[in-house]
Chain A
Amino acid sequence: MSQYNLIDNPNSSNRPPVINVGIIGWLRHNLFSSWTNTVLTVVAAGIIYSLFPPLFQWAILDADWSGVSRESCTGKGACWVFIKTWFWHLIFGLYPVDERWRVVLAFGILIVASIPLFIPWFKYKALVGVFLLIGFPVLAYFLFVGDILGMPLVETPLWGGLFLTLVIAGCGIVLSLPLGILLALARRSSMPVLRGLSVAFIELWRGVPLITVLFMASVMFPLFLPEGVNFDKLLRALIAVTLFSAAYMAEVVRGGLQAIPRGQYEAAQSVGLSYWRMMTFVILPQALKHVIPGIVNSFIALFKDTTLVAIIGLFDFLGMLQVARSDPDWLGFAPEGYVFGGLVFWIFCFGMSRYSQYLEKEFRTESQ
């Protein structure tokens, strides 16, 4: 009789079988729908069980949180005292303690100035953007280096830690995007000389590992300059990182340029725009919008790649972790150091990738 219920009595309280709805239904559908699925569930549960409880036990339950020396660590779980002791060195490197406020001030300005970018109704975003791209780097440079307005000089070998990582990544990001756009335009241009040079440049940098570029920067750049002129190790690394990531950026931007239909170029030319006006006002805004995920991916890659400067003797965040790990007072705490370092990098990179997804969605709705 039940199959006629629907017609006979629409208000009948007959519900779907309990095994098809609710938690049981969900479990049955997602975890135990067939015998292979059940086996997979058991395997996954096994992996989770053997991985996460011990990790939790090590990192949280058995960990030592308070103290000042390695004696405070029982050795059963993670020794976060190690991170606590080294924390400010990991952030600032060897930057003099009394001058650290300058770094904090610069990053504070950066954060405060970028808040308006996230406010939808804020009108002067372009103005803020110009300040962030041009005004801020100059300001930050004078704050970091000093030797002006009574602030003592802080030489770049003293720079280090997360601060240095952010400086390298920031400079690389700010410089490599315009350079990459120029390279991409040259590669798409109709002039064979420009095209050839740009292809050669891009393929050369993309074909070699960053570490050889950094080695080149540290051993060959000094040979390139006239005798007596010597420039900073940090600057050399910065140039290497920028050139390297500009080549990758160029390829991303080129993808965007190729996605713009020809009609857009022709329309811009027919209203009499010059090449540069056409590019700045018509083509590039559309092209860059297309490739925002690619650009952010390049930024993430660049951010992760900055760790390689540790190999040529700069003490970035990873370099400082290496220093901390090999401190004779704290030998044997490498796992804590790397887990903490990994977490910090993960927060930055994951945050960037989420932000790019947000931007993508934002622009998509705008165009609909």
Chain B
Amino acid sequence: MGREGKNPQTTLSAVWNNPAIRALVVQALVLIGVVLLGIYLVDNTLANMKARGIASGFEFLGRTAGFSIATHLIDYEEANTYGRAFLVGLLNTLLVSVVGIVFATVLGFTIGVARLSNNWLISRLATLYIEIIRNVPLLLQLFFWYFAVLRNLPGPKASIDFYGVVFLNKRGLFTPNPVFGPEIVWSGISLLVAIGFIVCLAYWSRRRRDRRGHSLPVTTISIVILTGVPVMSLWFTDFPIIWELPVLKGFNFRGGTTIIPELVALTLALSLYTASFIAEVVRAGILSVNRGQSEAAYALGLHRTLTLRLVVIPQALRVIIPPLTNQYLNLTKNSSLAAAIAYPDLVLVFAGTTLMQTGQAVEIIAITMSVYLTLSLAIAAGMNLYNRHIALVER
């Protein structure tokens, strides 16, 4: 009652207790703090760079790199520029990521399903695999495959021989390499025609089903056409593919494709590790589909395949896809561990060798980070689109 005389609107505490004003003040303070910190860091960095004589800017990308790279998907030699080296590193990162993702997906789905198997032995084996692999650091596994397994393999003369076609030794994995004759163009064209035909067929069959209520066995027809047409065209053109086999000459294999041991080790470690996580994702997805769903489908008279295809898998995928994409992203980011065993990926080539030679830490780390960041954000955006596409539509 003693406060009656004061107008609460004018006191300082009233202003401070006004949430809108308080929010503004807090935000302004935080913003000023962040900007000041930024200015301080940038200022220090510029001063330090000047003191140490480090150049700035991105001109170094056009200068000659002068180092060699063990494996490259595009032509590269020492006389090429740092920019080209960056591209080589980026492609190597993408290569190991894509290969790793394919293997990890296949293995992960297999193990995930195996863990749910009725077979006691199989499900225990899958559990054992998951519990062991998930709880050991990836870098340690990578070192194990590289230093303990691949580096301990015999030399070229005593290679491990897979039916005389594929060879594995200390220097890497040697596989046959297809050499195409000029007539292969016809097979390519026929394959494209076959794909076009199948697309039209699928569209027409769906229209027909909507009209008449029963569909054609499109999948079977597609498989027949997709394998039949190219094989026929290969046969007509007298099989213009020659498999160039790796042959032991002197101290090493010649011919064929050489996959360096670093790549083998990295792919092995990444896909085995990620597979254990994917297996858990798949298991969670399958378990998330209520049993009543498949029972209802059976009650409607759908047989097993159709129940799986139309009822169980679409619902499981809705749960599986987001964490699965996350695992793919993790695998891509983890591929940067390549630097530890000297596989020439983006980090080793660019944030390692190029940084050593030019000393332009800020630019190089910024480029490297933004490559990964772009990759992550792009995949995340794609995933969000897909999620919206398959999200439940409430009626």
Contact = CB atoms under 8 A, between A and B. Distances in A.
B158 interface: no
Contacts of A335: 144, 148-149, 152
A113 B232 CA distance: 76
Contacts of B136: 304, 342, 345-346, 349
A223 B49 contact: yes
Contacts of B333: 208-210
Contacts of B120: 30-31
B148 A191 contact: no
B135 A350 contact: yes
Given A220-B361, A307-B137, A322-B143, A209 B121 contact: no
A54 to B, nearest CB: 14
A338 B362 CA distance: 35
A224 interface: yes
Interface residues of B, number: 56
A16 interface: no
A194 B28 CA distance: 10
A45 interface: yes
A223 B45 contact: yes
Interface string B203-236: 0000000000000000000000000000000000
A31 B373 contact: no
B49 to A, nearest CB: 7
Given A216-B365, A224-B41, A349-B135, A209 B336 contact: yes
A325 B147 contact: yes
Interface string A202-225: 011011111110011001101111
Interface string B299-335: 0000000000000000000000000000000000110
B15 interface: no
Interface in A328-368: 332, 334-335, 337-339, 341-342, 345-346, 349-350, 353
Contact of A41 (B23, B121, B139): B121
A338 B119 contact: no
Contacts of A47: 125
A212 B369 contact: yes
A6 interface: no
Interface in B25-75: 26-27, 30-31, 34, 41, 44-45, 47-49, 51
Contacts of A31: 119-121
A210 B340 CA distance: 13
Contact of B373 (A194, A207, A227): A207
Contact of B137 (A33, A192, A304): A304
A105 B323 CA distance: 43
Contacts of B117: 40
A101 B237 CA distance: 79
B282 interface: no
A155 B121 CA distance: 52
B132 A44 contact: no
A318 B140 contact: yes
A211 B119 contact: no
Contacts of B26: 191, 194
A338 B147 contact: yes
B197 to A, nearest CB: 36
Interface in A134-150: none
Given A216-B365, A219-B361, A227-B47, A191 B121 contact: no
B339 interface: yes
Interface string B105-118: 00000000000011
Contact of A197 (B30, B132, B152): B30
Contacts of A258: none
B138 interface: yes
A37 interface: yes
Given A211-B337, A227-B48, A308-B337, A342 B140 contact: yes
B151 to A, nearest CB: 7
A209 B373 contact: no
Contacts of A341: 140
Given A37-B118, A215-B347, A353 B152 contact: no
Contact of A338 (B45, B144, B375): B144
A203 B334 CA distance: 17
Given A40-B122, A223-B49, A208 B140 contact: no
A192 B140 CA distance: 42
Contacts of B362: 220, 223
A223 B118 CA distance: 59
Given A224-B44, A334-B151, A206 B376 contact: yes
B284 interface: no
A45 B125 CA distance: 10
A267 interface: no
Contacts of B137: 304-305, 307, 318, 345
A311 interface: yes
A190 to B, nearest CB: 7
A300 interface: yes
Given A310-B139, A318-B137, A223 B368 contact: no
A327 to B, nearest CB: 13
A40 B118 CA distance: 10
B351 interface: yes
A192 B20 CA distance: 12
B377 interface: yes
A318 B139 contact: yes
Interface in B268-312: none
Nearest to B37: A224
A321 B143 CA distance: 10
B361 A338 contact: no
Contacts of A192: 27
Given A41-B121, A345-B137, A209 B144 contact: no
Given A222-B48, A307-B139, A215 B377 contact: no
Ordered nearest first, which 3 A-B pairs have the shortest CB separation? A349-B135, A207-B376, A30-B120
8 contacts: A47-B125, A190-B23, A209-B333, A211-B336, A310-B139, A334-B144, A338-B148, A342-B144
Interface of B: 23, 26-27, 30-31, 34, 41, 44-45, 47-49, 51, 117-122, 125, 131-132, 134-141, 143-144, 147-149, 151-152, 333-334, 336-337, 339-340, 347, 351, 355, 361-362, 365, 368-369, 372-373, 375-377
Given A30-B118, A212-B365, 8 more contacts: A33-B118, A207-B373, A212-B347, A215-B351, A223-B44, A305-B137, A307-B140, A342-B140
